[in-house]
Each structure stands twice: as C-alpha cells, then as structure tokens.
Structure 1
Amino acid sequence: MKRLITFITLFISPLITVAQNTTQSLDQKINQSFHNATSWFTDTILYQIPITENIAIPWVLIILVGGACYFSIYFKGINFSGFFTAINVVRGKYDSIDKPDNKTDIAKTIKVEGNGEVSHFQALTAALSATVGLGNIAGVAIALSIGGPGATFWMIIVGLLGMASKFVECTLGVKYREIETDGTVFGGPMYYLKNGLKELGLNKIGKTLSIIFAIMCVGGSFGGGNMFQVNQAFKLFEYVTGGEQSFIYGKGWLFGLVMAIFAGIVIIGGIKKIAKVTDKVVPVMVLVYVIAVIIILSINYTQIPVAFNQIIEGAFNPTGIAGGMVGVLIQGFRRGAFSNEAGIGSSSIAHAAVKTNYAASEGLVALLEPFIDTVLVCTMTALALIITGQITPGNTISFEQGAILTSKALESGISWFPYILTIAVILFAFSSMISWSYYGYQAWSYLFGREKRTGNVYKIIFCIFTIIGAAASLNAVIDFSDAMVFAMMVPNMIGLILLAPKVIKELKRYKSAIQNNLS
C-alpha cells in the first residue's frame, strides 16, 4: 500500500499545482498543470539525434525500426510466410488442436467460465481496438503535412516490418502468462521479462526491466491510450458542432466526463467485458470508416493512380519537403510506429488472455494487426487526403487539425460524411480507451498486487485522466503519449531479442501440431 500511495503522489500531485489560480478557466488550469508535470520526462524520452542542420530522428525510433528489421530476418520473413496461416487461425480452422486437457493452459482458462477468457478473434479485436484508432486518422494527416505523400510509403514499410515484432511479443505473452485458480489471466511483457529472463539466468535484470515496463505501461495507458484518444474525439466533435460557436466549445472537461463515465462502466468488467464490447464495436467502426473512405476513393477513382505516383515519387525524391528523403522517412516511421505499436509490447497483454494451448498460434494472429492497422487503414486515409487535395506538403498542421483535415476530405465527397466520421472517431477513441485501460490495469496489478481494491484505484485514476485529456492542449498530450508509449519499447525490445530463440521453438511446435492435425 505504501508503494501505491507513493506512486499516486508522484504522478498526480503536479497536476494540482496551479489549481489556486482563479484567473484561469478550468481547461487552462488542467492544461498548464499537466504541461508542468510532464515536460521533463517527454523532453528526455523524445530526445532527437541530429542528422543534419534541419533533420533529427528520435533515438527510440532507431531501436524500434531496427528491431523490426532484425526479427523479419531472424524469423525468415514470418511477416509474409505466416500471413495465411494467421487468417486460418482466426477463422477457426485449427481449433481442434486446442481441445482442453488437464495439463494445458486452455484447461486452466476454462476452469471456471466455460468459454475461457477470450477467443482468437476476440483477442485480435481487443488488441486492434487499441491500435486502430486516431493515429490512423489524425496521425496520417500530420505525417503527410510534414513529409508529403511519400511518408505514406514509409508508413506501409514500417507496418510490414512491424508484423514480425508483433508476432514475437505476442507469442511470448502467451508462453509466459500466469493463470489464477479462477481462470483469470495475467500476461504481457511484465511476465515474459520476469519469467522468461529468469529461465536464461537473468533473474535480477528481468525483474528490473519488468518493473520499468509496468510503470511506463501505466503511464502509456493514461497518455496514448486515453488522453490522446479523448482529446482528438473532442476536437472533432467540437468542430462538427460549430467550432467556436459550438455549445461544447471550451468545455473539454465536460466531454471527458461523459466519456469517463461510459469507459468506467465497461472497464469494471475486465477483459471479458471489454472483449464482448470490442468484438462488436471494432468490426463495425472499421467497416463504417473504410466504407466512407472507399466511397471517396470511388468518386475520385481517376486520381488514385496519380496519388500512388505521388507516394512513390515523394518517398524517394522529396526535394525540399521536410529536409528531403530522410525527413519523409522519419515522419512515416514515427506515425506508423505510434499507430500499430509493434515492438512496444502493449498488444501482448490482450493476446495473453486467449484460449489456446500453443503460444505461437496467437503470435501469428497478432501479426495481422499492423497489416490491418497501418498497411490497409492508414494507406486508405492517406489516399483520401491526397486525392481530395487536403495536404499541402511543407505546410505543417497542428495536431488539433489532424482529424479535421480527414473530416474535410470526406466532406468533399458527401456533405454529411463528417458526422459519420465523428461517430467513428468517438467509437475509435472509446474502444482504444477501454482496451488500454486493461493494459494499464494489468501493469498496475503487477506493481501493486491483484487485489480488487488496488485495481479500483487504477480505474478511478484512469477516468480522471480521461477528463484531463479532453481539456489539455494536444501538443502537450501528444508529447506525453509518444514519450510513454516509446519508453515501453526499451525494456520490451531487450526482452524480445534475448527470448527470440524461445519463440522459434514455439513456432516449430505449433507447425508440427498443424501438420499432425492435417495428416
């Protein structure tokens, strides 16, 4: 309990330092105190290594993309060779392999509740609900405004490479998960760092890395998984309801309060309740958004080849745009990495709750995430922005304008599309928030224990940050979000590299089980 009180004090107390300033509005107070509390941390984590006078690259991005390249080579292109197997796993083609017995994880997960924690499909949608979100809408617009159409190409590349990282971390998430007697699953980087590295004789290193990851994951759940989502949802809602004349203008805290209430209702039920929501909301919201974009692309179908040509040319010959090719590459990689979270480790927490005997089966399912999130959804958004002329390369937009630009792109086709996008954005934000609340709760439980009381403390704080996120300026929110999410990558990537041989063994075991089942 002392650890818990100390953590809360350090994390929350700076946010109330300006509360006595009565000359400020509530939104202004929240924004100033949040900026004061997080500026040092974000500056440190997002430190950029200078390349030229005008170009710098975040040091964490080098590790993230470098790790994805390493795993793509180490696992012999699992990004592509495992693609159709992953689809078959989601379809349930190999479900017969996972018949329960008394010695396997699947027997433990169904011990109390007949359907286990979650199915392969539910685990995928729960994880997708956290990754397919506003990074696909606002983030793409931002990347293109800085780097031009060519940034799209590099987002696609980082998505394809990230499939390998996602496969590794989610396989380990299942392999080293812990299952309570009531069937509740606890998994993710905290556990494969602690238990996996212990097997390698690195017990102290594993415990240290697991604690660092858990702390950053709690912060990430408050930032990128909560504040960023609700902030962008509020900005778009404010825009479509009249902007400065909107009834909600300057009342971000009120929008955040409503979202916090709905999120709180769902997250109290844990992963099973979350999965029941996401396996319905995610397919619907993705379908609605994709259909809207497809209609825009269909109306402007003659411009699609031109847009692809701009993407290719811009990727390799972007003279004068954000410092040339390196600048475009950095923007594409940064937004792509933030969008699909491959190498961050967060998704493995949701995938760890799956009902399976074979860890690699869920690793294969997980590699579909970056493909859906970045290769498909981000590319479609980019095409819509390019062909409707919403992006002027070199004319950097603010983060507040990201979702609004995409809204304008859809409005150019059909006038009422922004309202559809607003609904989709709020659903994107809501589903991301409830999934990230589960990630944060798992990390919180690892740090402070699995008692219901400590879990409720986390859920209350999460809802408070929902209100803060809607009220704060997005510049402060996005820096904090990027910093927390990217900080999770450091301990996670160390564990992934050290434990990669374990994943090879799990993959061979699963492939052997499939062969025996089909023969």
Structure 2
Amino acid sequence: MALIESINSAINGFVWGVPMLVLLVGTGILMTLRTRGVQFRKFGYAMKNTIGKIFHKTKAGKGEMTPFQAMSTALAGTVGTGNIAGITTAVTLGGPGAIFWLWVTALIGMCTKYAEVTLAVKFRERNKHGDWVGGPMYYIKNGLGKNWKWLGILFSIFAALAAFGIGNAVQVGNIVTSVNDVIVAFNPGFSEESQSIVNLVLGIALAVLTAVVLFGGIKRLGAVTERLVPVMALIYIVCCVIVVIYYADTLPAVFHDIFVGAFSPAGVTGGACGSMILCITWGVKRGVFSNEAGLGSAPMAHATTSETDPVKQGVYGIFEVFVDTIIICTLSGLTILCAAKGAGLDLNYGTEGDTGLNVAAFGTVFGDQFGSLLIAVGLALFAYSTVLGWALYGTRACEFIFGAKAIRPYQIIFIIIIVVGATMDLGLAWDIADTLNGLMAIPNLIAVIALSGVVVRETKRHFANKAEAKKIEEESKQ
C-alpha cells in the first residue's frame, strides 16, 4: 500500500500540476472564444430546451435513451460525493476562496462540456447490439481519423480503470461511512465490529441493486436515472436552502470570505490556507471532479440520446454543469460556511474536512440526528446514481478496447468492486480517483482542441437554421 501511495502521489503531482490546470482552463477559454461564448449567449435557449422540456414526453428507439434520460444518466455520473464531501475538502484545504475558483471552472467548463457532448453525438456509431455508442474514443477515431485510434484506446484504459475508483469505490465508501454516522448518532455505543458487518451488508445490497439495473440494458438504466436524479437533487437543494436561509444574516460575510479568500486565503483562514495556488488548485480540482467537464466521461452517456442534432444535445451539457456546480456545489459550500459564521462551526482550515462537517452544519438547524440522516440520504442517493452512471462509462470504455465480448465480464468485475469498496480506505481511493481524472482528461482535451472547428461549424449551422426557421415563421404570419 505504501508503494502504491508513493507511485500515485508522484503521478498525481504531475497530472494535477500547473500544466494540467492550464490545459483544462485553457481549453474552456479556447472553446468559449471560438463559439463566441455560446454558454452565455445561448444560456436562455439552453434552459428552455432542457429544463423547459422536462415534462415533454419523448420516445426513444431501440438502443437509445430520450435526450432527458441521457442527460440524467450523465448527471447521475457527475452528481456524486464530489458535490458534498468533495466541496468540504476544497473549502477546508483551499479556504472559502476555493468556491470562487469552482465557479470560474464551471462557467468555462460549460463550454467544454457543450463541445464534448456535441462531438459525442456528431461522431457516435451503432455497436453490434444496435446501441448508440460514443464519447472521446469515438470522436477521436471518427473525427481525427483511425491513425489516432491509439489515443482513443489510451483514454478508454484510463476511463475503464477510473470507473472502479471515482465511479465505484469512492462512492460506495462514502455511502457506508455516512450510514455508520447515522447509526452512531442514534446509537453512540455502536462497535467497530458491528460497523464492519454493516459495511459488508450494504456493499452486497448495493451490488445486487446495481446488477439488476445494469443487466437490464440501456433502457432500464435510463428509466432509473430519469426518476432518481431529479428527486435526489431536489431533496438536497431544499435542505441546503433551508440552512442558508436560517443563517441569511451571515451571507454578506460569507461572500466576503469567498471573494477575498480567492486571492488572499491567508487573510480569511488565519494563515491555515496561505497559498493562492493551493486555493485555485482545490477549487479547480473539485470543480472538475464534480462536473467532469473536460474529463470526457459524460459524453458517453449523451451519445445514447435519440436526438439527432448534436447541438440540441450539446446544450444539455451547459445545463448539466450549471445544475451540478453552480447550484448544488455552491449550496454545499454555503451550508458549511454559513453554519461556521452563524453557529461557530469549526471548519479546522488546513486539514482535510469530511462529511462530518456537513452533518454538523445540518445539525445546527435540524438537530444532530436528523442532520446525519439528511447527509446519509443525500450521499446514498448521489453516490448510488454515480455508480450507475460510471458503470455505463466503464462498460463503454472496455467495449471500445476489447469489443462487445468484454461487456459482461467487465460489468461483473465492476459489481464485485462495489463490495470491496464498502470496506476499503477512502483516503487512497480519493487520491487514485484524482490521478485517473487527470489522466483521462489529457487525451480528451487534445481531441476537443483538435476538433474545435467542428464544434464551431455545428454551432453556426444549428443557430443559422433556427434563425432561418424563425424568419420563415414570421413571414408566414404576415
């Protein structure tokens, strides 16, 4: 374990160094400039054609999901423990200013995600089962050409392995930890031996539930995420809003700390978080970990859509980042920061905060027992949805490398890892997940930059056609 930690630490320091931050943010800035800020210019259009059509009934054919189901599956993969535990870690290690850099990452990341989704639908293909398959490996192969297929294979290797960490062990580990916190809150004498038994039982139960959904095919996965994601997001958002409103008088001071701390973290945290680079790094890392813009994971879900216009599905990428980071992550951060100001909650800056702080923040309003229950429910729903989303991503990545014959063996291994993840050390899992995130992003961002011209052409085509259609409609009314 010590050797693995040492190797991972060395690789992590490289892939999450300044060059990676420049590549991630730089790609977002490039796409924003080349599309003339499509995420800002067409934000209203994106909201109208995503959340505005949530209750519209759409049918999907064999081997595909409706546009909303595809987006829900993508959100299932992104809305996970990063939205709760990840944000707490960013704030305690980077200071309140990390929230500011989280916002910057999200605003730029909206365009990166838009580009990824557009390319995924543009260059997708049908597999031997008739299912739509797509993502970075396919827009590398079909967009850059077969001579670049090796880059797609490289991405797929990282994605298939990352699914075991970011999309499985980390999520399951946080579920069992939060459940144990609830049990301890109601039963302080709960022994470690009993916790181990509970962890194993939970791991087996989650493995069975995942198998039922996963083996049911793409249709069942879409049907589950379509219902699970909106419900879980709404429950968590409402609870966070209640806490923030309860401490509403602290909001001016909290936003002061966020904006000042972004550039001078030492002045806000009493020197515990004194590096601006560290503040930026944690804000960007947790922003990317949360919304996955630039990683290339979500496009694999969006590629399953029944929507044929790449840009129409692309705007779901804008909406996805907005909900995941601007709304949910911000509320997570505000909840603990408001509780710290209003109730004296000790965030212990400079240390790696965990969900215990989230529980304590909710506990100041709802009571300790109910607070731990809220976090447990929120984490369980968020994490389980992420497991489902990443089960699809890992499967698609493995299929690209080895073909359809590898799908079922990979899924079986993925399900076994769920049980293993219920009893493993979370610290190393987080670190490995961070490393694999960075490694995934490199081939994907290379492809996005190389194919940026395609995104620009598709964007111009789509909105030119919309303008022409509107003009014809207006002339017909005269």
Q: Does the TM-score normalized on the shorter chain lie above 0.5?
A: yes
The answer as to 2:230 corresponding to 1:294 is: no
String of CA shifts for 1:116-152, please: whole Å, max 9, x gaps. Answer: 6112211111111111111010011111111211111
Question: After superposition, where does 1:29-48 map in structure 2 within 5 Å?
Answer: 32=1, 38-39=4-5, 42-48=8-14
Q: Is the contact between residue 385 and residue 391 of structure 1 (CA under 8 Å) also seen in structure 2?
A: no
Which of 373, 377, 392 in structure 1 is aligned with 2:347?
392
Which of 424, 432, 437 in structure 1 is aligned with 2:378?
424
Counterpart CA distance in 2 for 1:129 and 1:486 is: 20
Distance of aligned partners of 1:158 and 1:215 in 2 relative to their CA distance in 1, 3 Å threshold: same
Q: What is the deviation of 1:59?
A: 4.2
Counterpart CA distance in 1 for 2:435 and 2:453 is: 30
Distance of aligned partners of 1:159 and 1:238 in 2 relative to their CA distance in 1, 3 Å threshold: same
**In structure 2, the residue corresponding to 1:245 is in which secondary structure?**
coil
Q: Is the contact between residue 167 and residue 387 of structure 2 (CA under 8 Å) also seen in structure 1?
A: yes
**In structure 2, the residue corresponding to 1:118 is in which secondary structure?**
coil
Counterpart CA distance in 1 for 2:82 and 2:127 is: 35
Counterpart CA distance in 2 for 1:259 and 1:468 is: 11
Unmatched tracts of structure 1, length 5 or more: 1-31, 50-55, 100-105
**What corresponds to 1:76 in structure 2?**
36
**What corresponds to 1:197 in structure 2?**
144
**What corresponds to 1:281 in structure 2?**
228
Counterpart CA distance in 2 for 1:147 and 1:291 is: 26
Q: What is the deviation of 1:40?
A: 6.1
Q: Is the contact between residue 272 and residue 350 of structure 2 (CA under 8 Å) also seen in structure 1?
A: no
Q: Is the contact between residue 54 and residue 68 of structure 2 (CA under 8 Å) also seen in structure 1?
A: no
Which of 304, 311, 327 in structure 1 is aligned with 2:278?
327
**What corresponds to 1:479 in structure 2?**
431
String of CA shifts for 1:177-197, please: whole Å, max 9, x gaps. Answer: 002476411111111011100
The answer as to 2:196 corresponding to 1:250 is: yes
Question: After superposition, where does 1:408-447 map in structure 2 within 5 Å?
Answer: 408-415=360-367, 416-447=370-401
Question: Normalization by structure 1: what TM-score?
Answer: 0.83
Residue type at the aligned position of 2:21: L
String of CA shifts for 1:329-371, please: whole Å, max 9, x gaps. Answer: 1111111111111000000000001112211111111111111
Counterpart CA distance in 2 for 1:152 and 1:369 is: 18
Question: After superposition, where does 1:460-499 map in structure 2 within 5 Å?
Answer: 460-499=412-451
Q: Is the contact between residue 121 and residue 308 of structure 2 (CA under 8 Å) also seen in structure 1?
A: no
Counterpart CA distance in 2 for 1:437 and 1:120 is: 19
**In structure 1, the residue corresponding to 2:366 is in which secondary structure?**
coil
Q: What is the deviation of 1:404?
A: 1.9
Counterpart CA distance in 1 for 2:265 and 2:5 is: 33
**What corresponds to 2:177 in structure 1?**
235
The answer as to 2:198 corresponding to 1:272 is: no
The answer as to 2:295 corresponding to 1:344 is: yes
CA RMSD, Structure 1 to Structure 2 (Å): 2.4
Question: Normalization by structure 2: what TM-score?
Answer: 0.90
**In structure 2, the residue corresponding to 1:471 is in which secondary structure?**
coil
Counterpart CA distance in 1 for 2:235 and 2:295 is: 28
Distance of aligned partners of 1:507 and 1:210 in 2 relative to their CA distance in 1, 3 Å threshold: same
String of CA shifts for 1:266-290, please: whole Å, max 9, x gaps. Answer: 1112322111111111100000001
Which of 290, 302, 308 in structure 2 is aligned with 1:357?
308
**In structure 2, the residue corresponding to 1:67 is in which secondary structure?**
helix
Counterpart CA distance in 2 for 1:133 and 1:248 is: 26
Q: Is the contact between residue 445 and residue 455 of structure 1 (CA under 8 Å) also seen in structure 2?
A: yes
Equivalenced residues, count: 455
Which of 196, 209, 213 in structure 1 is aligned with 2:151?
209
Q: What is the deviation of 1:60?
A: 2.7
Counterpart CA distance in 2 for 1:230 and 1:312 is: 34
Could you tell which deviates more after superposition, 174-183 or 340-349? 174-183
**In structure 2, the residue corresponding to 1:342 is in which secondary structure?**
coil
Counterpart CA distance in 1 for 2:276 and 2:310 is: 39
**In structure 2, the residue corresponding to 1:241 is in which secondary structure?**
helix
The answer as to 2:113 corresponding to 1:147 is: no
Q: Is the contact between residue 181 and residue 372 of structure 2 (CA under 8 Å) also seen in structure 1?
A: no
